[in-house]
Amino acid sequence: MLTRIAGGRVIDPTTDRDEIGDVWIRDGRIAAPPPAGTRPDETYAASGKIVMAGAIDIHAHIAGANVNTARLLLPEWHRAAVPRPADTPLSISGWPTFATGCRYAAMGFTLVVEPAVAPHYALHAHLELGDVPIIDKATLAILGNDDFLLRLLRDKESPDAVRDYVAWTLETARAIGIKVVNAGGAMAFKANVRAFSLDDTVPDYGVSSRAIVKALQRAVHELRVPHPLHVHCNNLGLAGNAETALATIAAAGDLPLHLAHLQFYAYGSEGERGFSSAAAAVAAAVNRANNVTVDVGQVMFGPTVTISSDVLRQFNARAQARPNKWLVFDGDANGWGIVPYEYRADNFYNAVQWAAGLELFLLIDDPSRVFFTTDHPNGAPFTTYPEIFALLMSRDLRAEWIAKLPPAATELTTLPSIRREYSLAEIATMTRAAPARLFGLKDRGHLGLGAVGDVAVYDDQADRAKMFRAAALVFKDGQLVVRDGNVVQLRSGRALTVRPGYDRAIDRRLKDYYAERYGLAHDFIKVPEVAIGGPEPFEPVPCAN
Ligand SMILES: [Zn+2]
């Protein structure tokens, strides 16, 4: 099967292409142009259109026990709810698993990473991800508040033991990387601790948050897992927490580290209300630290729901729940907290948050080290991405938005003074080339020979939000799946994993540990191969939201 996407503006930073030309796909992979005169089986005209690789979202909460708990807590936000408030962002954002895949595909996304899978719930997460059509997926397994790891650190066991445990977790949970959430903070919460910073220690274990982060960072690095340790820092959302972000960046040393949703850690304590943007200082620190990558967690205005394994933070935020209901589940290793929330343009704090996120995008110089996320749905649903692309690409559009916000808020940010506008090539770097590299996926995120045939084609419109909202054509593994923003073919995606290998002694040790501590077989959490792919074929039902 030979497909030609003909005459579009091909923007592919990895192969240094920004030119009018063709993209060829043979049997699901990007191919070289065939000899002159060869007739393709299919030709799609792309003149006047932008052609990029399929986009990759590195951090969106789309499946698993925490996401489902949020669904159960907020049935009135579902599409089927009657009566339902006027379309809420979540009700149109692919809140059900099925629509999630369709909505992402319609925007040209072909791979999404679910970043917060507690190992004990990994099977559930994978089964649910299997029900998300079209896109490929991957998961990050959470460690860092679990008794087994903290015991290893408390007892000063060798880095080898930590490494084997990390590798065992990756393989058991079928993950592509490891995330740590408020390292030690969630465990400290069980001892009624309500504030926890990088050098605080977990009661009963005497292990600091810093020590947990460093141990996991080293283990992930030594296992040669491509994705660096993915860190949700301490003190999320608090005034003055830029200090925590700066301290964590400094703690990274020379090894790679990824900081998640950095916007939520970019706050100073200036101004009358003691809350300001410190994004400029945080961005400057990121610019200096070549080993550090970040994603933003941009806030956009509207109702949403915050979903986090940072139970300490979610418990502290419960008074802000809107509607006024919340839930914290404090599981043995990793629980989660659900707090619905509404970001408002006329709210001083929310306006500072919105500006701080854009400052990070615009002040971090290298688009291959700052990644595009809203921490869906924590900052905003993923369906707001097209509006954010447009904001990054136009200072005039930003000025229009800024004019509608409380001046007292925007004065405490540098956003009004920033003139930078992202180019399409920089958008492609941030959403395609760089995320593929960040996860070690050599055959994704680009249109070079042999790459997976994941291609997004957009009408080149002045209204960039409109352009990115509904791709003209999307190919997944070389198959046309979207035309004019509508799904035309449903396919199963697959989950991408890493298996670094480990000394089997840890397996025997964990067998005893699970038997003693839980009365369970340790392999009860093992995700079998059959759970990695989705059901095939999908029922041919309409993919409308
Ligand atoms: Zn997150």
The pLDDT score that the predictor gives to residue 530 is 84
Cβ atoms within 10 Å of 399's Cβ, excluding its own: 11
Could you tell me the distance, in angstroms and rounded to a whole number, from the CA of residue 61 to the centre of ligand 1? 6
Could you tell me the distance, in angstroms and rounded to a whole number, from the CA of residue 21 to the centre of ligand 1? 38
Note whether 159 and 121 are within 8 A (CB). Answer: no
pLDDT of residue 505 exceeding 70: yes
Q: For residue 494, with 0-12 CB atoms within 10 Å meaning exposed, 13-18 middle and 19 or more buried, which class applies?
A: middle
Could you tell me the distance, in angstroms and rounded to a whole number, from the CA of residue 374 to the centre of ligand 1? 8
Report helix, strand or coil for 162.
Answer: helix
Could you tell me the distance, in angstroms and rounded to a whole number, from the CA of residue 58 to the centre of ligand 1? 10
The pLDDT score that the predictor gives to residue 98 is 87
At residue 124, what is the residue type?
H
Could you tell me the distance, in angstroms and rounded to a whole number, from the CA of residue 177 to the centre of ligand 1? 14
Could you tell me the distance, in angstroms and rounded to a whole number, from the CA of residue 330 to the centre of ligand 1? 17
Could you tell me the distance, in angstroms and rounded to a whole number, from the CA of residue 64 to the centre of ligand 1? 13
The pLDDT score that the predictor gives to residue 331 is 75
Could you tell me the distance, in angstroms and rounded to a whole number, from the CA of residue 231 to the centre of ligand 1? 10
Could you tell me the distance, in angstroms and rounded to a whole number, from the CA of residue 261 to the centre of ligand 1? 7
The pLDDT score that the predictor gives to residue 83 is 56
The pLDDT score that the predictor gives to residue 186 is 94
Long-range contacts of 488-492 (CB under 8 A, 24+ apart): 490/133, 490/134, 490/537, 490/538, 490/540, 490/543, 491/133, 491/134, 491/538, 492/130, 492/133, 492/533, 492/534, 492/535, 492/536, 492/537, 492/538
Cβ atoms within 10 Å of 501's Cβ, excluding its own: 13
Q: For residue 456, with 0-12 CB atoms within 10 Å meaning exposed, 13-18 middle and 19 or more buried, which class applies?
A: buried
pLDDT of residue 329 exceeding 80: yes
Could you tell me the distance, in angstroms and rounded to a whole number, from the CA of residue 145 to the centre of ligand 1? 16
Could you tell me the distance, in angstroms and rounded to a whole number, from the CA of residue 230 to the centre of ligand 1? 10
Cβ atoms within 10 Å of 443's Cβ, excluding its own: 15
DSSP bridge pairs for 114: 139
Could you tell me the distance, in angstroms and rounded to a whole number, from the CA of residue 259 to the centre of ligand 1? 11
> Does the model's pTM come out above 0.85?
yes
pLDDT of residue 529 exceeding 90: no
Segment 60-66 shows an average pLDDT of 93
For the stretch 331-383, pLDDT in tens is 776 789 999 999 999 999 999 999 999 999 999 999 999 999 999 999 999 99
Residues 6+ apart with CB under 8 A from 312: 182, 185, 186, 188, 189, 193, 194, 196
Residue 168 CA: distances (Å) to CA of 119, 151, 157, 501: 11, 16, 16, 8
Average pLDDT, the chain: 94
Handedness of CA 534, 535, 539, 540 (dihedral sign): positive
For the stretch 440-467, pLDDT in tens is 999 999 999 999 999 999 999 999 999 9
At residue 38, what is the residue type?
T
Note whether 239 and 267 are within 8 A (CB). Answer: yes
The pLDDT score that the predictor gives to residue 75 is 81
CA atoms of 361 and 162, how far apart (whole Å): 34
For the stretch 375-422, pLDDT in tens is 999 999 999 999 999 999 999 999 999 999 999 999 999 999 999 999
Q: Which two tokens stand for residue 113?
A: 């990473």
Could you tell me the distance, in angstroms and rounded to a whole number, from the CA of residue 341 to the centre of ligand 1? 15
Could you tell me the distance, in angstroms and rounded to a whole number, from the CA of residue 101 to the centre of ligand 1? 18
DSSP symbols for 250-282: HHTTTS-EEES-GGGG-EE--TTTT-EE-HHHH
The pLDDT score that the predictor gives to residue 408 is 98
Could you tell me the distance, in angstroms and rounded to a whole number, from the CA of residue 49 to the centre of ligand 1? 33
Radius of gyration of the chain from its Cα atoms, rounded to whole angstroms: 23
| Band (540; pLDDT cuts 50, 70, 90) | very low
Could you tell me the distance, in angstroms and rounded to a whole number, from the CA of residue 297 to the centre of ligand 1? 8
Could you tell me the distance, in angstroms and rounded to a whole number, from the CA of residue 31 to the centre of ligand 1? 36
Could you tell me the distance, in angstroms and rounded to a whole number, from the CA of residue 43 to the centre of ligand 1? 40
Note whether 450 and 443 are within 8 A (CB). Answer: yes
Handedness of CA 81, 82, 87, 92 (dihedral sign): positive
| Band (545; pLDDT cuts 50, 70, 90) | very low
Could you tell me the distance, in angstroms and rounded to a whole number, from the CA of residue 119 to the centre of ligand 1? 16
CA atoms of 437 and 449, how far apart (whole Å): 16
The pLDDT score that the predictor gives to residue 44 is 98
Note whether 150 and 205 are within 8 A (CB). Answer: yes
Could you tell me the distance, in angstroms and rounded to a whole number, from the CA of residue 295 to the centre of ligand 1? 10
Question: To 10 degrees, the CA torsion angle through 109, 114, 115, 119?
Answer: -160
Handedness of CA 186, 189, 191, 195 (dihedral sign): positive
Could you tell me the distance, in angstroms and rounded to a whole number, from the CA of residue 376 to the centre of ligand 1? 7
Could you tell me the distance, in angstroms and rounded to a whole number, from the CA of residue 540 to the centre of ligand 1? 32
For the stretch 82-134, pLDDT in tens is 555 556 667 665 578 888 999 999 999 999 999 999 999 999 999 999 889 99
Could you tell me the distance, in angstroms and rounded to a whole number, from the CA of residue 310 to the centre of ligand 1? 10
The pLDDT score that the predictor gives to residue 537 is 47
* Share of residues in the chain with pLDDT > 90 (%): 87
CA atoms of 385 and 371, how far apart (whole Å): 12
Segment 190-219 shows an average pLDDT of 97
Could you tell me the distance, in angstroms and rounded to a whole number, from the CA of residue 25 to the centre of ligand 1? 34
Secondary structure string (H, E, C) spanning 283-336: HHHHHHCCCEEEECCCCCCEEEEEEECCHHHHHHCHHHCCCCCCEEECCCCCCE
Q: Which two tokens stand for residue 39?
A: 């007739």
Residues 6+ apart with CB under 8 A from 449: 30, 31, 32
Which is higher by pLDDT, 221 or 65?
221
DSSP symbols for 180-212: EESTTHHHHHTTT-----TT-EETTTTEEHHHH
Place of tokens 């936000």: 77
Could you tell me the distance, in angstroms and rounded to a whole number, from the CA of residue 22 to the centre of ligand 1? 37
Half-sphere exposure of 302 (CA within 13 A, CB side): 23
The pLDDT score that the predictor gives to residue 388 is 98
Could you tell me the distance, in angstroms and rounded to a whole number, from the CA of residue 377 to the centre of ligand 1? 8
Out of 1-15, 65-79, 170-184, 257-271, least confident range: 65-79
Segment 177-189 shows an average pLDDT of 96
Q: Which two tokens stand for residue 350?
A: 């929310």
Look up residue 4 and give its DSSP letter: E
Note whether 77 and 302 are within 8 A (CB). Answer: no
Could you tell me the distance, in angstroms and rounded to a whole number, from the CA of residue 216 to the centre of ligand 1? 18
Note whether 235 and 244 are within 8 A (CB). Answer: yes
Residues 6+ apart with CB under 8 A from 387: 300, 465
Could you tell me the distance, in angstroms and rounded to a whole number, from the CA of residue 179 to the centre of ligand 1? 10
Segment 229-254 shows an average pLDDT of 98
Report helix, strand or coil for 432.
Answer: helix
